[in-house]
Amino acid sequence: MAASAVLQIQEVSKIFEAGDHKVQALDSVSFDVYPHEFLCIVGPSGCGKSTLLRILDGLDYATSGRVLFKSEPITSPSPKLSMIFQTFALLPWKNVRENIELGLDAQGVGVQERRERTAKYIESVGLSGFEGAYPRELSGGMKQRVGIARALAVEPEVLLMDEPFSSLDELTADTLRREVLDIWREPTKVTDTFIMVTHNVHEAVFMADRVIILRARPGKLVADLVIDLPRPREKYAHTEGFYKYEQEIISLIEKNSGPTPT
Amino acid sequence: MLLIRIPVFGPTLNEIFAYQLTAGLFQLNWDNYILRTMIRMLLAYGLSVGFALVYGITAAISRRAEQVLIPILDVLQSIPVLGYLPGAIVVFLTLFNGSIIGQELASVVLIFTGMVWAVTFGVYGGVKTIPKDIVEAARSFGVRRAKYLRDVVFPALYPPFISGSILAWGGGWYFLIACEYLSFGTTRPYTLPGLGFYIFKAALDGNIAASLFGLLILIAIVALINRFVWHPLMDHADKYKYESTALPTHRKSQSQLSQWLLRKSREVSEDLAKVVEPVVSLEHKYYAHSIRFRHVNLLSHAHIGAAWHKYSRFGRIIGTAIGILLVILFFEVLVPPRFPEAIHQFMLRRELAMIPNYMLGSVARLLVGYLIALSWTLVAGIAIARSERLFNIMLPIFDIAQSVPALALFPVVVTVVIDYFHGSEFGLELASTVLVLTGMQWYLLFNIIGAVKAIPSDVIEASRCFGVRGLGFIRNIVLPAIVPAIILGSIQAWGGGWNATIASEYIVTSTKIYQVPGLGYMLDVAVAKGDTPLVLVAVGLMAGVVFLMNRTVWHYSLKRVNKYKFEG
C-alpha cells in the first residue's frame, strides 16, 4: 500500500526561531496520503496544521524529515499540487478570469488553451457571467469560488485547502462544501486527492475519508482516524454514527491539549 | 574619465579649525551655531505639535468642522513652503522693528510651516482610522469627552503622531537649512547664523573642506537625534497600534554595521559593549518599524485624498476659499496700502511675459528629476524590500542619507558640478536638476519599499504556489501592488521638488550669481528686489500648479487605481 501513496510525510519537524527563543511547530509528524482520498487535518490553533500544509506545497520547508510526492521529495511549489487559501489571496487588480489564469500564465500555457480551461472552471464553480468582475465586487463566497477555480485550473493532482470555508458565513460555507465534494467525486477529474486543514470538527467528519488529528505545542500527530460513513453524508449528519465520530475527535483533541491557555 | 576638480580639498584639519567661522560652531555661549540651530528646530516643532493636536483632533472628531478644515489644509499644504519665507521675514521684521527677534521668529515660523502638515495629517489620520468597533464600544460604555480623548483618541493617535513627527522633523531640517541659506544668499542685509549658514558660507568662501566638516557635524546631529529620540519613541509607540492586516512583518535582524560595531566594542572592552548593545539592539526594530510607520502615514494621506469627494460642495468651496484667502491675507501684509496702484504698475512688468518660459523651465527640470528618481527608486526599492540582506545593508545607509537635508549638499554640488563644466549652461542645468532630484527621490524610495513590504503574505504565497516567479512576479504582483504608493510618493516628491527649485534655480555666491530660468528663479529674484507683487504672483503660480496637479493628475490616478488596494 505504501508504494502507491501520493504523498508521504516522513518524520516532519519544524522549528521557528524568533530571536532567542525557538518554537517547535511540528514534532516528527508522519503519515501517508493515498490517491482518491479526501483527507482532513484537524487540531487546535497553534498545532502547526497550516505550517504542515505549506510544507506539503513546498512554500515552507521542514527543519528535519521530508515530504515525498510520488517518491520524489518536495522542495519548491509545483503545479502538481495547488492550494486554496483561507483569505482567498486574490489579486485585487485582476478580474475573475485573470485571477484564474494566474497559474496557467505562469506555466506558459498557450492563450487558446488558457481561455478554454479558464472558461471550463469558471463554469464548474458557477461563476459564469462574472468573468470581468473584480474581487472587491464579489461576496466572500464568490471570492472563494474564484480561489477554487484558480487552484483547479492548473489541474493539479493534489488539491490543498487551508481552512477554505472559515472566512465565510455558515450557509455559504455549507453550499461550497457540497460543491467541493461534487468536484472531488467527479469521475473524469485530474485532481483527485484533496487535503484540507480545518478546526471545524463537523466539517471534517462531513467531508473526509480520513482525519489526521494534531495536538499543539509542539504539533504532534495524536490520531489517524478513518471516517467510515456512506456518501453523500447530508442525510447522515444527524445520525448517531456521525455524532460518535465528532465526539471521538473532540475528546481526542481535548485529552491531548495541555493546560488551558490563559 | 571623470576627473572632478575640487578646488580646495587640500587643507588640513588645522586649517579647517582655523577657518574664521569655526568659532561659531564650538564656542560656549548663545552665539554657538549648533545651539541656535537646535533652538529654532525645537521651537518650530513645539508649535507644530500644538497646532496639529488642536487642528487634527477637531477636524477628525467634528463632522462639521472637518468639512471646512480639511479643504483649508489641502490648499495650505499645496503651497511650496519656501514660498512663505519672504512673507514671513518681512512680516516679522516689521513687527519687531527689524530686530534679531523678528528674524528668528520668521525662521521659526517657516520651519513650522515645513513641519506642521505631516504632524497634522498624522493626528487626523490616526483619529480617523480608529476602528469602528472601538468607537462604538466606547460609545456603548459611555466613555465621553475628556475620558474619550484620554482613553481612545490619544492612544490611537500616538503611533501616527510619532511617525508624522519623524517626517516633520526631517522636513524641518530641510527648511531650517533653507532659512539659513536663503537669508544669506540674497542681497538682504541680515543673516541667520547657524549650522546651515556655516556650511553655505564656508563653501562660498571657497573652503570646501570646512563646508564638508560642517555637513559632517550636521549628519552626526541628525543621526544621533534619530537614534536616541525617535527610534525609542517609535518602538514605544508601536505598542499602541491597532492590529491591522497587510502590515510588513518584521524580522529580528541587525545590520552588518551594528554587528560590526558590537563586535569591535567587545574587543575594546566589555563596558563599552554594555553601552553599545542597547543602542544597536533597538536598531533592528527601528528599520522595520520606520518602513511600517511611513506606510501608515501614507495611508492617512490616502485617506484624505479619498475623503475629499465625501465633502459637500459647499464645504469644499468654502474651505478652498478660506484657504486661498488666508494665503492672500498673509501676503497682503507685504503689499503697501496702495494696492490698486501696485497692481497697475505690476501689470506693466516685462517679467510677466516670461512667466510661460519660467513655468516650462521649472516643470521640465522637475520632470527630468522625477523620471530619474522614479527609475532608480523603483529598481532599488523593490530589490531592497524583497531581500532581507539588502534591506539590512542598504536601509541604514538610505535612512541617514535621506535625513540629511538635501539642501545642505547644495554648496558642494554646485561648486563641484558647475566648476567641472566651467560654468557652462549645461553645468548649471545639471546642478539644478541634481538638486531637484535630491529633493524628490526619498519620498518615492521609502513609499515603494513600504508598499512592497506591505503586500499580504497570502498573496505572495499564492503566487509562489502557482509558480509566478521572476519578471512575471514583478509584473503581475509587485508593480500593481505598489502603484498607489508610487502615486502618493509622487505627490510628495513633486511637493519636495518645487521647494527644491526655489533653492536651486538661483544661487548667489560671493563671486557670482548662478541662475537658470524657472519659477523658483523668479521668486528668488522678486524676493531679492523686495518686489512683493511679483513674489505673490510667483508663489501663487507655484501653489496653483501644485494644487492643480494634485486635484487632477494625482487624484485622478488615485481614483483609477483604487482597485489596486488590498482589502483590509
For B467, the closest of A54, A107, A136 (CB atoms) is: A107
Task: Write down the mean pLDDT value for chain B.
Answer: 76
pLDDT at A143: 94
- Does A57 contact B at CB distance below 8 Å? yes
Cβ-contact B160, B240 below 8 angstroms:
no
**Separation in Å, CA of B161 to nearest CA in chain A:** 29
Chain B CB contacts of A89 below 8 Å:
456, 458-459, 461-462
- Do B564 and A93 make contact, defined as CB atoms within 8 angstroms? yes
Q: Using pLDDT thresholds of 50, 70 and 90, give the confidence band for residue B250.
A: very low
Question: A6: distance to nearest CA of chain B, Å?
Answer: 18
Q: Is B551 exposed, middle or buried (CB count within 10 Å of its CB: 0-12, 13-18, 19+)?
A: middle
Of B465, B483, B563, nearest to A83 by CB-CB distance is B465
In sign, the C-alpha dihedral spanning A176, A181, A187, A192 is: positive
At B234 the pLDDT is: 78
> Which of A102, A104, A166 to mutate against chain B (most B CBs within 10 Å)?
A102
Report the complex ipTM: 0.82
The answer to whether the Cβ–Cβ distance between A91 and B465 falls below 8 Å is no
pLDDT of residue A2: 47
More confident residue, B299 or B422: B422
Which of A20, A74, A87 is best to mutate for the B interface (most B CBs within 10 A)? A87
Do residues A233 and A242 lie in contact, with contact meaning Cβ atoms separated by under 8 Å? yes
Q: How confident is the model at residue B187 (pLDDT cuts 50, 70, 90)?
A: very low
pTM: 0.77
Using an 8 Å Cβ cutoff, are A36 and A192 in contact? yes
CA triple B33-B36-B37, angle to 5 deg: 85
**Which residues on chain A are in Cβ contact (under 8 Å) with B252?**
18-19
Residue of B277, B282, B466 to mutate, testing the A interface (most A Cβ within 10 Å of its Cβ): B466
Mutate to test the interface with B, among A21, A90, A91 (most CBs of B within 10 A): A91
Amino acid B153: pLDDT: 87
CB–CB contact A89 B477 (8 Å): no
DSSP H/E element including A252: helix A240-256
Distance from CA of B113 to the nearest CA of A (A): 38
**Min distance A255 CA to chain B CA atoms (Å):** 32
- For B405-438, the pLDDT digits (tens) are 777 777 777 777 777 777 677 888 888 888 889 8
**What does the angle CA A248 – CA A254 – CA A259 come to, to the nearest 5 degrees?**
170
Considering only CB atoms, B563 lies closest to which of A18, A105, A134, namely: A134
Q: How confident is the model at residue A144 (pLDDT cuts 50, 70, 90)?
A: very high
| Per-residue pLDDT at B331 exceeds 70 | no
C-alpha distances out from residue B484 to B55, B119, B288, B384, Å: 27, 22, 20, 19
Q: Considering only A7-11, A46-50, B375-379, B395-399, which range has the smallest mean pLDDT?
A: B395-399
Of A48-62, B159-173, B249-263, the poorest mean pLDDT is in: B249-263
- Confidence at residue A198, expressed as pLDDT on a 0 to 100 scale: 95
Residues of A in contact with B481 (CB under 8 A): 93
Under 8 Å CB pairs connecting chains A and B tally to 72
| pLDDT at position B376 | 96
Of B464, B476, B565, Cβ closest to residue A92: B565
Distance to chain A for B380, nearest Cα, Å: 24
Give the confidence band of B338 by pLDDT, cuts at 50, 70, 90: very low
Name the A residues in 88-147 with CB < 8 Å from any B CB: 88-89, 91-94, 102-103, 105-107, 134-136
> Is B4 at the interface with chain A, CB within 8 A?
no
- Asked if residues B418 and B281 have their Cβ atoms less than 8 Å apart, the reply is no
Q: Smallest Cβ distance to B467: which of A79, A87, A92? A: A79
- Range picked from A23-37, A186-200, B121-135, B278-292 for highest mean pLDDT: A23-37
Q: At what angle do helices B457-465 and A96-107 cross, to 10 degrees?
A: 50
Q: Name B463's Cβ contacts closer than 8 Å, sequence gap at least 6.
A: A102, A106, B473, B476, B477
Average pLDDT over residues A155-160: 94
> Inter-chain contact B463–A102, Cβ cutoff 8 Å?
yes
Show residues of chain A in contact with B461, CB under 8 Å: 54, 59, 83, 85, 89
Residues 6+ apart with CB under 8 A from A36: A192, A193
Residues 240-259 of B with CB under 8 A from A: 252
- In which order are the strands placed within the sheet that holds A193-198? A81-84, A158-162, A193-198, A38-42, A210-215, A220-226
- Categorize the per-residue pLDDT at B347 as very low, low, confident or very high, splitting at 50, 70 and 90: low
Whether B280 shows a pLDDT value over 80: the answer reads no
The nearest CA of chain B is from the CA of A147 a distance in Å of: 10
pLDDT > 60? residue B46: yes
Q: Which residues in chain B touch residue A107, judged by CB atoms under 8 angstroms apart?
A: 467
- Identify which has the larger pLDDT, A203 or B16: A203
Contact B458 A150 (CB under 8 A): no
Taking an 8 Å cut-off on Cβ atoms, the answer to whether A93 and B480 are in contact is: yes
Q: Please tell me the distance from the alpha carbon of residue B211 to that of residue B267, in angstroms, as a whole number.
A: 34
CB contact under 8 A, A82 and B466: yes
Of B252, B477, B561, which has the smallest distance from its Cβ to A91's Cβ? B477
C-alpha Rg value of chain A to the nearest Å? 18
Nearest Cβ partner for B567 among A103, A105, A136: A136
Those residues whose C-beta lies under 8 Å from the C-beta of residue B172, and which sit 6 or more positions away, are: B41, B44, B45, B111, B114, B115
Which of A83, A93, A142 is the mutation pick for testing B, counting most B CBs within 10 A?
A93
Q: What is the DSSP letter of B241?
A: P
Give the residue on A whose Cα is nearest the Cα of B459.
Answer: A89
Question: Which residues are CB-neighbours of B51 under 8 A, at least 6 positions away?
Answer: B112, B116, B119, B120
